[in-house]
Structure 1
Amino acid sequence: MSTVVSKARSKGATAAKINGRMITSEEFLDWLEPGTLADLIGGQVFMHSPVNLRHASLVNFLDRLLAAYLEEADVGGVLHRETVAVRLSARETFMPDLGYFTASQVSRMGSTHAAFAPLFVVEALSPSTAKRDLGMKFAAYELHDVQEYWVLDPDKLAHRFFRRAGDLLEEFALDSDKISSTSIAGFWVKRTWLDPDKIPKVSACLKEILRSSKRH
C-alpha cells in the first residue's frame, strides 16, 4: 500500500490533499475495505455520513421495489446498493446509494469495482452531501454516460429526476405524480410513494406497476 494511502487512512481519509497532492482512483480503490463507504471526488476523499432513518427508509423502499420489479418483469441486470465502487476517471470513484447495471455491463465488471457508470443511479440527499450530489457528482455522472439520475430528498421531499438528452442530463417529471423510468423498461413510481413517513407496501406497488405494464 502506498504511503499516500496509508496516511489517508490514519487521518480517516478525509483530507483533500496529502503530501501536497491529491490521490488517484487506484489509490482510493486500494484503500477501500468492505464496509467502508466513501466517494473520491476530484481526488478528494469524502466519507459517507451515517444514514438517518428517513434516508434509510426511502432508499430501502426503492431498493426492494426495483429489485422485485427486475425479477418479476425479467428485465435483467443487477441492482447494487452502496456496495460497488464505480470508477469514472483517474480521480473520480463513487459509491452511489443505488446503481443499476444492465446484463451487458455486468459481464464487463471487475471483481472489485465497476470501471464504468451504471445505467441508472439514485442518490438520496443529506445535509452534508446535497451540494456534491447536485454539483460535482452530477457533473461527473453526466460526463460519464449515466442515462438516468434520480436525486431523492428524504427531508423536504423535493425529489428531482434527470434523464439523458444528448450530452446532458435534463430534468423531467417536474409536476408529475408518476415518474416513469426512461432506462428501465416499464418501471415507474408515484411521487407519493417517496415519502419516508408514508412508505407503502412494496408488494402493492409492484402489483400496480405490473398491471399497468400488461395494459400497455
Structure 2
Amino acid sequence: MTQLTRLTQLTRMARPAVGEREPAPTGERRLRMSYEQFLEWSDEDTHAEWVNGEVIVFMTPVIRHQRINGFLYSLISRFADLFNLGEVVFAPFEMRHLPGYASREPDLLFVARENLHRLTRERLEGPADLVIEIVSPSSAKRDYQEKLAEYEQSGVGEYWVIDPRPEWEQVRVYQRTMEMEGCYQAVLPDPSGRYHSAALPGLWLRPEWLWREPLPAADEAMLEVCGEAYIRHLAERMRRERLSDQ
C-alpha cells in the first residue's frame, strides 16, 4: 500500500459537488478546489486546510481552546527564546508538509533554528519539528487519526494532541524514533506525570496546568521548568530595558 493510498483511506469522506460549499454537521464548511485555487482563495484571516482536493474551513474556536493555545504559545516561545532554539508560530499559518496531498494549519508549530530557512512569509515549506493540535468536538477524528498518520508520514518530529473536552482532558505525545525507523512512538509521562519534549530538549509539560481555571501564568510555568536559568534571563532583560530607557 502506498503512502498516498493509506492517507486517502484515512481521510475519505463525503464530498459536495465541485465548487459547492456545504455545511458539515460539525459546523465546518467544505469546498472542492485545487491547491492553486486554494492559495488564491484564502487569506491570512482564514483558518482553513487543503487536503486531497478539498478545503476544510473551520468554525471559530471556543474560549477554552484559545486560552490553552495562548498559554502553550507563551510557554514554548519563552523557552525557545531563552535557549535560542527556534521559532513558534500559531494558527492560522500554513504548513505545506505533504505537497500535492495536504496542507495543514496546526494550532501551534515549532521550527528548530536549523530549519528556519524553510519558514517563509506565507508558510512553512515542509514539516515542523513540533506540531500541537487542540481537540474540539468537531476535530477529534481528524486530530487523533488523520493528522497523526499525515504528520508521521511527512516527517513532523513530534506531535502533541491536547484534548480539553471535559469528558477527556488528556494529552498524547508522539515522537519519531530511530528504533522505530522514523515512525511515531507514543511517549509516556515520567513518574511525576510530565511529558518531556524531544524537539525542545529540557522542556516538559505538566498536563494539569491545562485544566486549571484560570490557567497558570506562562512565567510561573517557566520558573517551574527552568528555575534559576529563567530568573537570570528575566533579570538580564530588565537590566537591558533600564539601560535603553536612560
TM interval, shorter chain, is 0.7 to 0.9
CA offset digits 1:20-39 (Å, max 9, x no partner): xxx33333222211200011
**Separation in 2 of the partners of 1:74 and 1:109?**
16
**Separation in 2 of the partners of 1:212 and 1:180?**
19
Matching residue within 164, 176, 187 for 1:172: 187
Coordinate RMSD, CA, aligned: 2.4
Where in structure 1 are there 5+ consecutive unaligned residues? 1-6, 18-22
**Separation in 1 of the partners of 2:229 and 2:194?**
14
The answer to which of 35-44 and 138-147 deviates more is: 35-44
2:33 is the alignment partner of 1:33: no
Where in structure 2 are there 5+ consecutive unaligned residues? 1-17, 231-246
Q: Is contact 2:118-2:126 (8 Å) kept?
A: no
**Separation in 2 of the partners of 1:191 and 1:11?**
36
Matching residue within 140, 162, 166 for 2:174: 162
Deviation at 1:197, TM superposition (A): 2.7
Partner of 1:84: 93
Structure with bigger RCO (C-alpha 8 Å, 6+ apart):
1
Aligned-partner SS, 1:197: coil
Aligned-partner SS, 2:118: coil
The answer to which of 172-181 and 41-50 deviates more is: 172-181
CA offset digits 1:76-121 (Å, max 9, x no partner): x111001320112212000000000112222233332122011000
Matches within 5 A, 1:1-216: 8=19, 14-15=29-30, 17=32, 23-75=33-85, 77-88=86-97, 89-155=99-165, 156-165=168-177, 166-173=181-188, 177-211=193-227
| Residues 1:8 and 1:172: Cα distance change in structure 2 (over 3 Å) | same
Number of corresponding residues: 202
Q: Tell me the amino acid that sits aligned with residue 158 of structure 1.
A: Q
CA offset digits 1:52-84 (Å, max 9, x no partner): 111111111111111111112232x11100132
The answer to which of 61-70 and 169-178 deviates more is: 169-178
The answer to which of 129-138 and 143-152 deviates more is: 129-138
Aligned-partner SS, 1:137: helix
Q: Is contact 1:193-1:200 (8 Å) kept?
A: yes
Aligned-partner SS, 2:198: coil
**Separation in 2 of the partners of 1:117 and 1:51?**
24
Identity %: 24
